[in-house]
Chains A and B, each alone.
Chain A
């Protein structure tokens, strides 16, 4: 049994790594993750230390230059990985969980409950989420927790739609029906049969949502609503904006790290999509 499982997972791994976007995405992701975990070790300087030389261009001592306070940009960018990943994962996670619950319940119960929840989803879709986030952050402050919660709360609708569609198609399948006949409870069926079988499109969307959340945080930071207590790439871009024509490296490199990270999760999402929905066999 376990040997068979090992063979199976080895095969799946081989197939996954055969998908170019997934392979590139995973390699990049591991590098980014390592940078986040090992930040204090691999960063050449303390990201908050004022090292004297202000706005120094990239050099041997400072590969990416220094900022307007004389802090080492490379070290700041490496440490910034942490906040980006935390925000990305938590916000996408919240949005995923809400999406699963609302979508599965709506799709499985059907009838009036379904209509009501679909209605709620449509309404949420029509509100300009970014501006809502902006107002909440402006009123409640831009702490990292607030950002995570608000971004999660405003991006769950796509997940809910996906989960609902999956649930509706799973609801009438034989294994779900037989579980019902066998007398399993509704919630148990939802948890054990429906959600695990319908979650794949959500996994793909959630991966893309990680990028979305990272970009959203960057946007908030850029208009000055970020958490002042953390090192965030968006804030570094904002700091560099005033020196764009003289010290271009500040905005350039911090922005590039946002692009790279967001791109990584888009690649993984695209790759997972191909991995989980294999091309339909040609008709013969």
Chain B
């Protein structure tokens, strides 16, 4: 059985005068030991999906339907107390902006110890220090950062601490939501490399949310491409990135430079995301798709499997 099985997930943001369908019928499964990258431009619903898995979407402004099976439990129906048991011991995350991911007026140690004590009540100072020491070792940080405030650390160091925090209880699944986006390229690749090592050593399952194809290419075995709230293609990274099936994946790849192969002009994808507050009967990408046929505007494409584990949602065959 898959570790995480998302089935027909719909997430709607309820606003005063309209609703936005941020995740539209998303189905995805993550096996134990997988490292899956979720890619898409901003507004594609990838972060919403991640927040939904973590149970962090605001209850009053969102409506969720479908199933998210995690270790056999349906997270969509899970209560706050239920999540409290899961969060951090079996499910943890690293979030976007590195500079604000720690409280600026508290020392690093206080923040680490507080999280530790939530799950191990009554842990004494020594136990906390031992835990923090081991974690910091894992992410190559000196013990001395414990007594510092976040503003005394660099963005890379803070993000390392965030990664250390999410490894605290050896969770079954880690979600990295644009974890390295805010960093400079050198630090980013360094941290990604260390992350891959840690993952390989401990066998933790990883879900990486990113808009950067290069991150996926470098550190994910599997990839899922999202567009306008829908999953459009998923499969092994090696296959999807070399022979993308869906026109959107093709467009996305064409807008990133490669070092190999022929010299090609970088192409963007003309147009922008469709308005998600209305019903879109056909393919969400049809309005920007260079190959769109009449059917694409009227009928919702079905996920079809080309090879085991490699699926895409497009009416047109491979070109």
Count how many chain A residues have C-beta atoms less than 8 Å from C-beta atoms of the other chain.
Answer: 3
B15→A284 contact, CB < 8 A: no
Q: How far is the CB of A19 from chain B (nearest CB, A)?
A: 11
Residues of A close to B276: CB separation below 8 A:
284
Contact of B229 among A282, A283, A284 (CB under 8 A): A284
Tell yes or no: B43 within 8 A of A by CB: yes
In the bound complex, residues from chain A placing their C-beta under 8 Å from that of B48 are 283-284
Classify the interface of chain B: helix, strand, loop or mixed. Answer: loop
B residues 14-55 near A (Cβ < 8 Å) are 15, 20, 22, 42-45, 47-48
Cβ contacts under 8 Å, B298 to chain A: none
Minimum C-beta distance from A132 to chain B (A): 36
Instruction: Determine the distance from Cα of A282 to Cα of B15 in the docked complex, in whole angstroms.
Output: 9
* Complexed CA–CA distance, A58 and B48 (Å): 63
Count of residues in B whose CB is under 8 Å from the partner chain? 13
Within 8 A of B (CB), among A202-232: none
CB of B113 within 8 A of chain A?
A: no
In the complex the two chains form, is B47's CB within 8 Å of A282's CB? no
Q: Does B285 contact A (CB under 8 A)?
A: no
Closest to B276 in A: A284
Return chain A residues, CB-CB under 8 Å to B43: 284
B64 to chain A, nearest CB (A): 14
B88 touches A (CB below 8 Å): no
How far, in whole Å, are A185 and B104 apart by their CA atoms in the complex?
42
A283 surroundings in chain B (CB, below 8 A): 47-48
- B22: chain A residues at CB < 8 Å are 284
In this complex, what residue of B is CB-closest to A284?
B22
Bound: A121/B287 CA distance, A: 53
A residues less than 8 Å from B15 (CB atoms): 282
Q: Is B13 an interface residue (CB 8 A)?
A: yes
* Complex contacts, A284 vs chain B, CB 8 Å: 13, 20, 22, 42-45, 47-48, 229, 276
A284 vs B45: C-alpha distance when bound (angstroms):
5
Residue B120 at the chain A interface, CB threshold 8 Å? no
Residue B61 lies at the interface, judged by CB distance under 8 Å to chain A: yes
Task: Tell me the complex Cα distance, A283–B47, Å.
Answer: 8
Nearest-CB distance from B164 to chain A (Å)?
A: 26
Cβ contacts under 8 Å, B13 to chain A? 282, 284
Contact code string A172-209 (vs B, CB < 8 Å = 1, else 0): 00000000000000000000000000000000000000
Question: Contact string, A257-284, partner B, CB cutoff 8 A, digits 1/0?
Answer: 0000000000000000000000000111
How close is A278's CB to chain B, nearest CB, in angstroms? 12
Bound-state CA distance A88–B48 (Å) is: 48
The complex places the Cα of A216 from the Cα of B48 at a distance, in Å, of 50
Name the CB-closest residue of A to B11: A284
Chain A residue at minimum C-beta to C-beta distance from B228: A284
Measured in the bound complex, the distance between the Cα atoms of B57 and A284 in whole Å is 11
Report the bound CA distance from A283 to B49 in whole Å. Answer: 11
Complexed CA–CA distance, A284 and B51 (Å)? 10
Q: How far is the CA of A241 from the CA of B48 in the complex (A)?
A: 61
How far is A239 from B20 in the complex, measured between Cα atoms in Å?
59
CB distance from B179 to the nearest CB of A (A): 16
Q: Complex formed: what's the CA distance from A105 to B229 in Å?
A: 46
Tell me the residues in window 26-41 of chain A with beta carbons closer than 8 Å to chain B beta carbons: none
Distance to closest chain A CB from B166 (angstroms): 20
Distance to closest chain A CB from B15 (angstroms): 7
* 10 sampled A-B residue pairs with Cβ under 8 A: A282-B15, A282-B20, A282-B61, A283-B47, A284-B13, A284-B20, A284-B42, A284-B45, A284-B47, A284-B276
Using a CB–CB distance below 8 Å, which chain A residues touch chain B? 282-284
* Inter-chain pairs besides A282-B15, A284-B47, 5 sampled, C-beta below 8 Å: A282-B20, A282-B61, A284-B20, A284-B22, A284-B229
Q: Please give me the 5 A-B residue pairs with the lowest Cβ-Cβ distance, nearest first.
A: A284-B22, A282-B13, A284-B43, A284-B48, A284-B45
